C-alpha cells in the first residue's frame, strides 16, 4: 500500500469518528455529508458516490468504500446485498464482469487486506456506517464478495501480523454487532418518519430525544421491527411505557398507572405524565403504519397485570 493510500484511509476513519461524535449518533450519517467528504492536503475526498464501489481520485487503485442503497417503498434495489447468519456480508459485484475495474479493485483489497468503509442505506438520505471492513472472500460464479466488519482498534494497513482464527472470530462477532445496530437504526428511522418525527404522547420534535419503542418486544414471537409494532416516543415516555407506568389502550388512549396518578411530586410529574391520562396518542396518517390494535391490546393486558 502506498503512503498516500494509507494516510487517506486513516484520515477518512478519523473524519467519520469525529463526525459521529459531533452528530451524537451511533453511526448514521446524512448522505449529503458523505458526498461532501473531507479535505485531504487541499483536495476534497468524497466518501460515497452513485456507484456502490467507490474510489476517490486521490487513491491510486483500491476503492475506499462500498455501499448498499436503502430500500425505497415500491421500488426494487438495483442489486441485493445480504447480511448472512454466518456473520458476514455478501456484497454484489459491480455488474456481471468480474474483470470490471471496480471488482478488480476490491479483489486487490482482499489480496492485500486493505480496510474499507461500508455504508448501508437505512432510509433515503441516511446511511449507517461500519469501518474498517475487509474483503475476505470472492465468488465469481455468484458475482459476490464476502465482507467482514472488524473492530476499529484492530485496523490493519498491511503491517500488523494477526492470528487468522482469532481474527475470523472477532470479525464475525463485530459483523453481528453491526447487524444489530443496523436493524435498530433502521427501525428507529422508519418509525420516526412515520410519526413525522415527534413523540406520539407529548409531540416533542427534538430528534435527539426521540426513540422508537416496540409495542411487543423484539423477543416476542410477533415482535418484528415493523412500523405497526412501533411508537415514536421521547425518552421520558419511552421509559414510562417500558416500565408500565404508562399504558396505551387498543383505541390509542393513554392510561397512567393509578399510584402515579395520585402521587404528588412537583410540576414534572403533573405535566410529564399525569396530564396525559385519558388523552389520545398521535398516530401516522397512513393506515398501514398505525399501531396494531392486537399488539396494543396484548401490551395493555401486561400493563394492567403489572400495575
Residues 36 and 100 in one domain: yes
Q: How many CB atoms lie within 10 A of CB 105?
A: 22
Q: Are residues 187 and 201 in the same domain?
A: no
Is the domain of 113 the same as that of 231? no
pLDDT at residue 207, rounded to an integer: 87
Question: Residue 38: what pLDDT?
Answer: 97
What does the alpha-carbon distance between residue 205 and residue 263 come to, in Å, rounded to a whole number? 28
Of the candidates 191, 208, 240, which is a domain's last residue? 191
Asked whether residue 29 falls in the same domain as residue 170, the answer is yes
Same domain, 211 and 184: no
At 182 the pLDDT is 75
Same domain, 164 and 213: no
Please give the pLDDT value at position 83: 61
User: In this structure, are strands 116-123 and 65-68 parallel, antiparallel, or unpaired?
Assistant: parallel
Is the CB of residue 213 less than 8 Å from the CB of residue 245? no
**Looking at the structure, do residues 181 and 161 belong to the same domain, yes or no?**
yes
Q: Say whether both 32 and 16 belong to one domain.
A: yes
Tell me what pLDDT residue 202 has.
Answer: 96
Chosen domain end from 162, 191, 220: 191
DSSP state letters, 12-68: HHHHHHHHHHHHT-SSEEEHHHHHH-EEETTEEE-S--SSSEE--TTSSSS-SEEEE
Contact 174, 134 (CB under 8 A): no
Distances (CA, A) of 267 to 231, 239, 273, 281: 25, 18, 10, 21
State whether 47 and 165 are in the same domain: yes
∠ Cα 106 109 110 (to 5°): 90
Q: Determine the 3-state secondary structure of 169 from DSSP.
A: helix
Please tell me the distance from the alpha carbon of residue 119 to that of residue 128, in angstroms, as a whole number.
6
Looking at residue 166, its pLDDT comes to 74
pTM, to two decimals = 0.72
Q: What is the count of structural domains for the chain?
A: 2
Do 182 and 33 fall within a single domain? yes
Phi, psi of 177 (to 5 degrees): -60, -40
Q: Which of 172, 191, 210 is the last residue of a domain?
A: 191
Question: Do 161 and 216 belong to one domain?
Answer: no
DSSP 291-303: PPHHHHHHHHHHH
Specify the pLDDT at position 25: 59
Per the structure, the complete domain to which residue 72 belongs is given by 3-191
Digits of tens for pLDDT over the chain (307 positions)?
A: 578 899 999 999 999 999 988 887 555 899 999 999 999 999 999 999 998 999 999 998 999 999 998 866 555 555 555 666 566 788 999 989 999 999 999 999 999 989 999 998 888 889 999 899 999 999 999 999 999 888 766 676 555 556 777 777 777 777 777 777 777 888 898 899 999 999 999 999 998 899 999 999 877 877 778 899 999 999 999 999 999 999 999 999 999 999 999 888 878 888 899 999 999 999 999 999 999 999 999 999 999 998 7
Quote the pLDDT of residue 235: 96
Residue 248: predicted pLDDT: 97
Same domain, 175 and 214: no
Amino acid at each position: 500500500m502506498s503512503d498516500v493510500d494509507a494516510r487517506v484511509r486513516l484520515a477518512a476513519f478519523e473524519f467519520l469518528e469525529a463526525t459521529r461524535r459531533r452528530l451524537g449518533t451511533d453511526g448514521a450519517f446524512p448522505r449529503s455529508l458523505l458526498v461532501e467528504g473531507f479535505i485531504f492536503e487541499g483536495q476534497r475526498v468524497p466518501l460515497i458516490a452513485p456507484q456502490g464501489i467507490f474510489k476517490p481520485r486521490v487513491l491510486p487503485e483500491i476503492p475506499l468504500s462500498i455501499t448498499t442503497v436503502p430500500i425505497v417503498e415500491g421500488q426494487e434495489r438495483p442489486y441485493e446485498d445480504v447480511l448472512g447468519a454466518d456473520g458476514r456480508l455478501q456484497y454484489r459485484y459491480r455488474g456481471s464482469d468480474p474483470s470490471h475495474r471496480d471488482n478488480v479493485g476490491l479483489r486487490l483489497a482482499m489480496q492485500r487486506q486493505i480496510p474499507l468503509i461500508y455504508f448501508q442505506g437505512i432510509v433515503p438520505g441516511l446511511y449507517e456506517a461500519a469501518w474498517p471492513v475487509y474483503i475476505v472472500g470472492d465468488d465469481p460464479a455468484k458475482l459476490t464478495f464476502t465482507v467482514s466488519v472488524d473492530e476499529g482498534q484492530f485496523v490493519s494497513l498491511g503491517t500488523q501480523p494477526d492470528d487468522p482464527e482469532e481474527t475470523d472470530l472477532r470479525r464475525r462477532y463485530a459483523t453481528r454487532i453491526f447487524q444489530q445496530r443496523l436493524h435498530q437504526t433502521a427501525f428507529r428511522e422508519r418509525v420516526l418518519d412515520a410519526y413525522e418525527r415527534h413523540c406520539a404522547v407529548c409531540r416533542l420534535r427534538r430528534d435527539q430525544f426521540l426513540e422508537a419503542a416496540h409495542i411487543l418486544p423484539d423477543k416476542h414471537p410477533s415482535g418484528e421491527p415493523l412500523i405497526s409494532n412501533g411508537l415514536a416516543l421521547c425518552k421520558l415516555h419511552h421509559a414510562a411505557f417500558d416500565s408500565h407506568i404508562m399504558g396505551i389502550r387498543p383505541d390509542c388512549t393513554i392510561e397512567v398507572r393509578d399510584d402515579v396518578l395520585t402521587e404528588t411530586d412537583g410540576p414534572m410529574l403533573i405535566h410529564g405524565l399525569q396530564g396525559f391520562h385519558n388523552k389520545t396518542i398521535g398516530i401516522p396518517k397512513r393506515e398501514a403504519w398505525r399501531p396494531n390494535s392486537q399488539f396494543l391490546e396484548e401490551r395493555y393486558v401486561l400493563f394492567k397485570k403489572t400495575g
